[in-house]
Structure 1
Amino acid sequence: MPEVTLVLLVAVIAAALLFDYINGFHDTANAIATCVSTRALTVRTAIFMAAGLNFVGAMISTKVAATIGKGIVDANNITQVVVLAGILGAIIWNLITWYYGLPSSSSHAIIGGLAGSVVAHAGTSALHWAGLKKIITVLILSPVVGAFFGFLFMVIMMWTFRNKAPYTLNKVFRKLQILSAAVMAFSHGTADAQKSMGVITMALVSYGSLATFEVPNWVKLSCAVAMGLGTAAGGWRIIKTVGHDFVKLQPVHGFCVETASAAVILGASAMGLPTSTTHVITSSILGVGLTKRISAVNWGVASRIVTAWVITIPASASVGFVSYMVFSPFLGK
């Protein structure tokens, strides 16, 4: 029935915007945890700066949205119920990891949720294996690159300023860190808000509102606003895990972490590759921490973070699969 299909489309759009909002407060820590940890900015100031720049970054490009919308599943097997179940898989997993203060990947969650729901609908043949392989390869490699650049930038800073007094150095980098945190927040917007844009546009194409996959301006604006509002709400639990518990940071460390992370994320977004901002920045923190000494890293927290990374895709895929099986008898295929 057309009325039911329209209601489902509205439900999908609302769920995607809710995911963007949750993504905002779930991933706030990615942009600001280090500058809060080093006291370069107060928590309130950092969150509102991140909210604004997340919004700006989300409006810049739609390359990542196209990758999410066209690179995971076969368009012929996309229905409103498939998309809705996939989003629910991502939302539920994000809320679980937020509750426990684990900085898991929203990118992994939405990819897993969509994959699980489409498999429930049409089997594994409906997955774009080449696209998934490319996306997952980038998601795996980007933390490695983030750790390498974090380590490299920190070594360069240590060598360049080896004769400077720590007090003077931290005073300078506390100011520079505000700039690097701003760039990190902007890069987060270019990457993470794109996922919901891709999902909503996918649903619009499935409904017939769009003939081709092209993100409308109202979708870009609504996702940017949802991401900004979520960021403004703040992710206090994850800020504590990333900014305080993982590695103790000074302003120069925070500057290197944010600069390395932003470079990796912006580079990937420019190529339309969806990275996990969570993975990149936590691995950059790890790289910076290793320049101090191995014991500078809280390996207990690190193991919790890695565990969340490993199980996010299968966990969100499972929830997406179950959500589809629950809803499809009532809402249709």
Structure 2
Amino acid sequence: MDLAIVIGVIVIALAFDYTNGFHDAANAIATSVSTRALTPRIALLMAAVMNFIGAHLGLQVAQTVGSGIISAPQGRHGLIIVGGALVGAIAWNLVTWYFGLPSSSSHALIGGLVGSALAASASVHWTGVLDKVVIPMVLSPVVGFLLGGLIMIAILWIFRRANPHKANRGFRYAQTVSAAAMALGHGLQDAQKTMGVIFLALVVGGYVSPGSDIPEWVITASAAAISLGTYAGGWRIMRTLGRRIIHLDPPRGFAAESAAATVLYTAAIAYGAPISTTHTITSAIMGVGATRRLSAVRWGVAGNIIVAWVLTIPAAAAVAAISYFVLNLILG
């Protein structure tokens, strides 16, 4: 029976990974599609491939999610906690996708883990939540905003005497590279979060020891699921990021993607922090847009997005807590 629950949790985790890719496809390609640097299908295919590659480039974020957020007890009870967390995260992903809000799949997962653990009276590593989630959650959008603005200012200065038509055409080509870098960073960050949850399920199920390496099949399955979800696309959110915040041209799209990719790599490799690709690219787009003029950014849309950011962790935690009680009633 416990093996069946382990398999069920792994299937739910991969379903979350798929919805993560589906939900966050816009993060990597919205700017490139909106500036017509890439066609939607080519952009999605490129993002899916780069997601798959990025998922194999490190394990620091997976280790944080797998052991640094909660401690679930061994056996069926621990598996139910992980299952409840995943259901909460998936539910919030689908709600925000429906309304076209680019909320954070990462923070939905963290909120789910915390909510399910609290409902089960399990241990939450609040220091880890503060250091690896809350502080990076606040800092990464700020850094993304400032870095996006600085890169755009540098571009405006360097190309101040360039022919606008030739410059736009050149930056369309450059956006192929920056979009690929953004997609690679998305795979590096978000696929690892699912790896960490699957590893946690295997640990509490007694199938691997806490200090062992993450099995290769977990890495490959997580990479494949997020890549398939990315290729399926998330058109509602793509419209929000690509056009509703600010109308982007190729230089601004390149600047936003470059800034966001830099923040993603630094957080994952240097700190193992599971930051939000959504927060990072959205704030970078705002920073780039603000270099034109502050009124060029549609701050009302940005305000709606920020509300979704603030609500994500507590909302996912609440749904996860309810899911835990339901699953515990059925399987406990």
Shorter-chain TM-score above 0.5: yes
Instruction: Name the counterpart of 1:151.
Output: 149
Structure 1 residue 132 corresponds to structure 2 residue 137:
no
1:165 positional shift? 2.2
1:326 positional shift? 1.3
Instruction: Name the counterpart of 2:250.
Output: 251
SS across alignment from 1:321: helix
Q: 2:51 aligns with which of 28, 43, 54?
A: 54
Q: 1:23 aligns with which of 20, 39, 54?
A: 20
| Within-5 A mapping of 1:1-333 | 4-76=1-73, 79-122=78-121, 126-134=123-131, 135-213=133-211, 214-271=213-270, 272-332=272-332
The answer as to whether partners of 2:72 and 2:117 remain within 8 angstroms in 1 is: no
How many residue pairs are counted as aligned between the two chains?
A: 327
Instruction: State how far apart, in whole Å, the 2-side matches of 1:76 and 1:325 are.
Output: 16
1:75 positional shift? 4.2
SS across alignment from 1:85: helix
Instruction: State how far apart, in whole Å, the 2-side matches of 1:162 and 1:139 are.
Output: 35
Q: CA RMSD in A?
A: 1.0
Instruction: State how far apart, in whole Å, the 1-side matches of 2:137 and 2:310 are.
Output: 11
C-alpha offsets along residues 57-109 of structure 1, whole Å, 9 cap, x if unaligned? 01111110000111111244770000000000000000000011000000100
- Long gaps (5+) in structure 2: none
* 1:136 maps to amino acid: V
The answer as to whether partners of 2:72 and 2:81 remain within 8 angstroms in 1 is: no
* 1:140 maps to amino acid: V
| Greater Cα offset, 303-312 or 72-81 | 72-81
1:137 positional shift? 0.7
Instruction: State how far apart, in whole Å, the 2-side matches of 1:174 and 1:74 are.
Output: 47
Instruction: State how far apart, in whole Å, the 2-side matches of 1:293 and 1:9 are.
Output: 53
**TM-score, normalising length: structure 2:** 0.97
Instruction: State how far apart, in whole Å, the 2-side matches of 1:76 and 1:323 are.
Output: 17
Instruction: State how far apart, in whole Å, the 2-side matches of 1:245 and 1:122 are.
Output: 42
* 1:267 maps to amino acid: T
Identity, % of aligned positions: 52
